[in-house]
Homo-oligomer: A and B are copies of this chain.
């Protein structure tokens, strides 16, 4: 917060991204100025341009980092062979990841229209890859009759929208714990796909 003159190259870059993430999540990308970010970091506006090409690159890098972290974290999850257990693994993973990173998630959903077409395409490709992970689990369960689905694609979008929606109402310290919310959502998801 305090402004100091001197050498901080190793911490100023990360701090710019961290501060930008908080401000953008709170006020929106278009409503946050480079000066505001600089002020909160404790440098002058021009200094930001030593670490970021321009404002668009700043937004893109935040979203790219978020989605790459999400995909890498899912890759690291051991997916059970049983479709029901695999779906349980995905549900828990998705909720826990989203509980932990409300700012990143919010930005990734709200600021898509502020990306250039080129950057938008790259982010969308990563999002589709993540959706494909869930769709593959559902398709496998449908093929083995573990699941009874009206439509794998729509069910994928329905489950992801439902789970990601926790961000709009869940707050730590509220009526339910994260674990309780997780149990409730898992029960809802399991019923949605349950075979006859």
Contacts and interface: CB of A to CB of B under 8 A. Distances in A.
Assembly stoichiometry (copies)? 2
Contacts of A159: 162
B157 A169 contact: yes
A110 interface: yes
A150 B27 contact: no
Contacts of A191: 191-192, 194
B26 A150 contact: no
Contact of A188 (B114, B155, B168, B176): B155
A94 to B, nearest CB: 13
Contacts of A114: 28, 31
Please report whether the interface of chain A is mostly helix, strand, loop or mixed according to DSSP. helix
A181 interface: yes
Interface in A137-196: 150-151, 153-155, 157-162, 164-166, 168-169, 175-176, 181, 183-185, 187-188, 191-192, 194
A4 interface: no
A192 to B, nearest CB: 5
Nearest to A110: B110
A187 B150 contact: yes
Nearest first, the 5 closest Cβ-Cβ pairs linking A and B are: A161-B165, A30-B30, A30-B31, A162-B162, A150-B184
14 contacts: A28-B30, A150-B183, A150-B184, A151-B176, A154-B176, A154-B181, A154-B184, A154-B185, A155-B184, A158-B188, A161-B165, A161-B168, A162-B165, A191-B194
